[in-house]
Amino acid sequence: MKSKCDIQTPLGEMIALAEQSALTELRFVGQKYAPENTGEWRHDPDHPLFTALREQLDDYFAGRLQTFDLPLAPRGTPFQMAVWELLRGIPSGQTVTYGALAGRLAEQRQGRVPAAQAVGGAVGRNPIAIIIPCHRVLGANGSLTGYAGGVERKAALLELEKAA
């Protein structure tokens, strides 16, 4: 079954999508690369996964949670999935650059180094915001380059994690 839920956060409304018992998407309303139509999904705010998601997001924004514990099932190309898996390994309160992620991916791919721009494209299409922490990736000079949910939100998330 495909379920959806609207979630209010301190940084704006988000839409969560789940199939069966796994989260497939968590996006800010109106962010880049968000699917246009979620009409095929049944509105089910009482789904146990969404209840747990709201509780964990509340704890995260209150500074009480650094690591989420939810079943995830993002969909993407093999390259995107590899990048998103690397994102999950970035600890709360820390950041990496797109180039460093490309280097880590090269280690997994027997030395074939992807362009930092290709990594950036995969990071930008991350379908599960905050939980798969694409906001922790910075430009080569430490700048807050790009965030599908808006650079202001990226800055706020990094500040929240630094304070926690």
Exposed, middle or buried by CB within 10 Å (0-12, 13-18, 19+), for 72?
middle
Task: Please identify which of the residues 16, 23, 130, 134 carries the catalytic annotation.
Answer: 134
What are the residues whose beta carbons fall under 8 Å from the beta carbon of 162, sequence distance 6 or more? 93
Distance CA 163, CA 121 (A): 29
**Which SS3 state, helix, strand or coil, does residue 2 take?**
strand
CA nearest neighbour of 31 among 153, 159, 133, 119: 153
5 catalytic? Reply is no
Distance CA 51, CA 70 (A): 11
Active site residue ranges: 134
